[in-house]
Amino acid sequence: MPNDTPLAVLTGSSSGIGLAIGRALLEAGWTVAGLDLAPPVLSHPRFRSVSVDLSDAAATDAAAASLTGAAALVHAAGVLRVGPLGRLQADDAALMWQLHVGAAERLANALLPAMAEAGRGRVVLVGSRVAQGKAGRSQYAATKAALTGLARSWAAEVVARGVTVNVVSPAATQTAMTQDPARQAAPPVLPPIGRLIQPDEIAALVLFLLSPAAAAITGQDIAICGGASLPR
């Protein structure tokens, strides 16, 4: 794999938003290490697949230790489990916390100090508009809300060292997750624009946040929501 292009570590690279981001990164000239339990979909000389269960702490630590020289970390891996009060499942909460929050912590802990030492780096965590609260999504919302706390805290630590940390929070997006049988009792709600957000639209925003032009944007939770944020 060529070593003369910047390396982006990307989770969830085999489907949905992560796959779209991976394609955009490769088209923009990045080298990509894709972390996913699913088999790789991307095939490119600058793409390396890292098979890992990101809900497994030890496996995530081992994968992180194998990644050096990263200029960017994009955490797009995710899963959705829904349930109202009275039917909340502790296993669902644990899975989403480990995948959304625990994996972000472990990867950032391994990669951000080297970025700060090098004086450059970008981190983007894929959150969700649901983090602001939605009936039947409390466990999912809690994990996504936690990402904003992580991002703002990390941003404060590295703001003077050339590293930015941001969250991108989409509204309902056209991915396999919206077709997950686990959520058929609670289908996605269309944003005011009248359609689901497209993964390529999220990828374009992420790519901008990784660019030199976005050097002054850090510690932000940026909604890409098709107007869902308009009512106050």
**Residues tagged active-site:** 140
Distances from the Cα of 50 to the Cα of 53, 107, 122, 152, 162, angstroms:
10, 13, 20, 28, 27
- Count other C-beta atoms under 10 Å from residue 204's C-beta: 15
Q: Counting Cβ atoms within 10 Å, is residue 169 exposed (0-12), middle (13-18) or buried (19+)?
A: buried
Under 8 Å between Cβ of 65 and 110: yes
- Long-range pairs for 22-29: beta carbons < 8 A, 24 or more residues apart: 22/47, 23/203, 24/200, 24/203, 24/204, 24/206, 24/207, 25/74, 25/207, 25/210, 28/207, 29/5
Closest CA to 155 of 123, 203, 117: 123
